[in-house]
Amino acid sequence: MNIVSLRDNFVARYKIECLKRKVEEVNFTNQGKLVATLIYDAVGEIQSKTGIIESSQIISLVSGTNEYPLNLDFGMVKLVSCNNNILCKRTTEWINKQIDLGNTGTDPSDYAITVLSDTTMGSKFNILLFPTPSTVTNLTINYTSDLGAFDPTIDEDAYSTNYTILPSVYDRAIIFHMVDSMFGDNKPNFDKEITRLIAKQFNGQKLNYKMTGVI
């Protein structure tokens, strides 16, 4: 789920629990900071119990085009590769200088992350490649989850967007932890979900494939 879906799903489950327990509900309409903190705490606990969460994105490169959008709402770029070759991270200035010097090639060997203005999150990210691709091929980008990017003390507005904070396989664990934070007795469900996720890891199944996207 994206962040808005997580928030709405939690509120619905919270309302059900309040009805079952016959307790007064908290009105979450103007409680963005509270919901943001619940999500942040849940993701932090999942990270600590399951290890580093990673994801990947595959970009179909177009001949003659050297800049493409990234899914950096999830995390930080860990590794960029093209045709099994790992690209070297550079600055935007370095790449622009190579282009100005007339240096060329076939497949990208270097990359830089550029920041663009965005009306929703304040900024968005592109990947700039050098050399400019001259053939149609794919670029694979591996990410690591960056929980700090969604710290509610830094940017509460991030929790009012349709950005994805973790791969969807972790959705149930996030919701269970959020419900437990409100009532204090849902931890067994959270623990069972974490056990299931860890078991899948040890069985050699990758938990992050559902985040993989193709542009």
Residue 34 structural domain: 3-52+147-214
Of 122, 145, 168, the residue that ends a domain is 145
Task: Specify the higher pLDDT residue, 33 or 154.
Answer: 33
Q: Tell me: do 177 and 135 sit in the same domain.
A: no
Given the structure tokens 């932890």, which residue do they identify? 177
pTM of the model: 0.67
| C-beta neighbour count of 54 within 10 angstroms | 18
DSSP state of 119: T
Q: Tell me: do 134 and 157 sit in the same domain.
A: no
Q: What does the pLDDT look like over 137-184, one tens digit per residue?
A: 899 999 887 776 667 765 566 566 666 777 788 999 999 999 999 999
Q: Tell me: do 71 and 16 sit in the same domain.
A: no
- Using alpha carbons, select from 155, 157, 162, 186 the residue that is nearest to residue 172: 186
Q: Tell me: do 199 and 139 sit in the same domain.
A: no
Q: What does the pLDDT look like over 43-65, one tens digit per residue?
A: 889 988 988 778 888 999 999 99
Of 94, 113, 145, the residue that ends a domain is 145
Evaluated on CA atoms 152, 156, 159, 161, the torsion sign reads negative
Residue 214: pLDDT over 50: no
Of 121, 145, 169, the residue that ends a domain is 145
Residue 94: pLDDT over 90: yes
Token representation of residue 213: 């996207």
Q: Tell me: do 123 and 206 sit in the same domain.
A: no
